[in-house]
Amino acid sequence: MNAPKTLKELAEIAGVTSGTVSRALSGSNLVTPATRDMIVALARQHGFTPNATARNLRMRKTNTIGVVIPLGHEVRQNISDPFFITLLGLLADKLTARGYSLLLSRVVPTDEDWLLKLARSGQSDGIIVIGQSDQSAVLDRVAELYRPLVVWGSHIAGQAHCSVGSDNFRGGALAAQHLIERGCRNIVFFGDPRAIEIGQRLEGCRSVVEKAGIPFGIVPTHLVADEAQSEIGKYFRAKAHRPDGVVAASDVIAVTALRVLTEQGLSVPADVKVIGYDGLQLGEHTMPPLTTIAQDLEQGADSLVSSVVQRIAGEEIHSVILQPRLLVRQST
């Protein structure tokens, strides 16, 4: 048998879970002495050396939580993005209330080891990743080695990493259903489905539109406002493109669509109805105020912090799926 390289492989040899191996190797008193001694002996027998940082993480050496924003699919997106600012503010408040500091990193992945390097840096007791981007495989691989990792994003059957996020498929379906109920008969989706969350929103939207049997367009659209404006403007300048309903993958994209429609002399909601996604406060101040699919970011931040703290303590915590809700304003 080949020497085990991961906690999972050592756990299979020991006949226990990865979490039990992790706790045993970190000296946790949540494991019985007999089980701990057995696992440590197996680790020595097979030459398995646990990450020293992982041992420190279980002992809360830093009282710091790393918060990482990976931008694999959208390298120009800034931390000043309204969604990031909102969630970061909530996380900072909830971490502070639990006695933790927040260490923020914005990462443009250039290799598959970017997250493992952060996990092994010893700078934090655990890591919260905001957004799966196009990095799901990396998240799964690191989750097998590093237990105190929690991700804001979609849940996919079979994933290894623990996630907290809304039901994006349902959210997309809610958006499309609302437009159809408002009388829309030609709907377009603006967003980049390479990001897992946006891809699920698209599929939810598509499922409803196809069932209704009405035309449906998809326009890959960046989350960065200036690029989105160019892409949306180009779409609407084409004479053949005159949808009466827009599902935007984010509130930022929706706000950009409102601006483009106004510049082109189209009235919202009379000519085109627009619905966003996220439920950010900026949607209250647009003209007209933006209808959106609201994510419960307050609850999301609370679940992210609770989950990472419990995982630091060696507890087995599963993914959390929050239900989105339709927030109707005047853009539809």
Per-residue pLDDT of the chain in tens (332 residues, 90 and over written 9): 577 878 888 888 899 988 888 888 766 667 888 898 898 888 878 877 665 545 544 454 789 999 999 886 766 677 788 999 999 999 999 999 999 999 999 888 888 889 998 998 889 999 999 998 888 899 999 998 899 999 999 998 889 999 999 999 999 999 999 999 999 999 999 999 988 899 999 999 999 999 999 999 999 998 888 888 999 999 998 867 689 999 999 999 999 999 999 999 999 999 999 999 999 999 999 999 999 999 999 999 999 999 999 999 888 889 999 999 999 999 99
Same domain for 207 and 98: no
Query: For the domain that residue 283 is a member of, what is the CATH number?
Result: 3.40.50.2300
The pTM of the full predicted model, rounded to 2 decimals, is: 0.79
Interaxial angle between packed helices 7-14 and 18-25, expressed in degrees from 0 to 180 and rounded to the nearest 10: 100
Q: Is residue 327 part of a domain?
A: no
Q: Is residue 316 part of a domain?
A: yes
Q: Is residue 232 part of a domain?
A: yes
Same domain for 205 and 285: yes
**Do 73 and 136 touch, CB atoms closer than 8 A?**
no
Omega of the bond prior to 288 within 30 degrees of 0, cis? yes
- Our count of domains for the chain comes to 3
Same domain for 301 and 231: no
Phi and psi at 56, nearest 5°, equal -65, -35
CA 123, CA 249: separation in Å to the nearest integer? 34
Omega of the bond prior to 4 within 30 degrees of 0, cis? no
Q: Give the per-residue pLDDT at 226.
A: 84
Same domain for 177 and 259: yes
Same domain for 214 and 280: yes
Q: How far is CA 179 from the centre of its chain?
A: 25
Q: Give the per-residue pLDDT at 49.
A: 65
Q: Is residue 289 part of a domain?
A: yes
Q: Is residue 142 part of a domain?
A: yes
Q: Is residue 277 part of a domain?
A: yes
Q: Is residue 260 part of a domain?
A: yes
Using DSSP's 3-state secondary structure scheme, residue 127 falls into strand
250-280 burial code (b ≥16 CB/10 A, e <16):
bbbbbbbbbbbbeeeeeebbeebbbbbbbbb
CA 91, CA 182: separation in Å to the nearest integer? 36
Same domain for 129 and 11: no
CA 317, CA 309: separation in Å to the nearest integer? 10
Q: Give the per-residue pLDDT at 57.
A: 45
CA 140, CA 272: separation in Å to the nearest integer? 41
* Enclosing domain of residue 193: 168-294
Q: Is residue 151 part of a domain?
A: yes
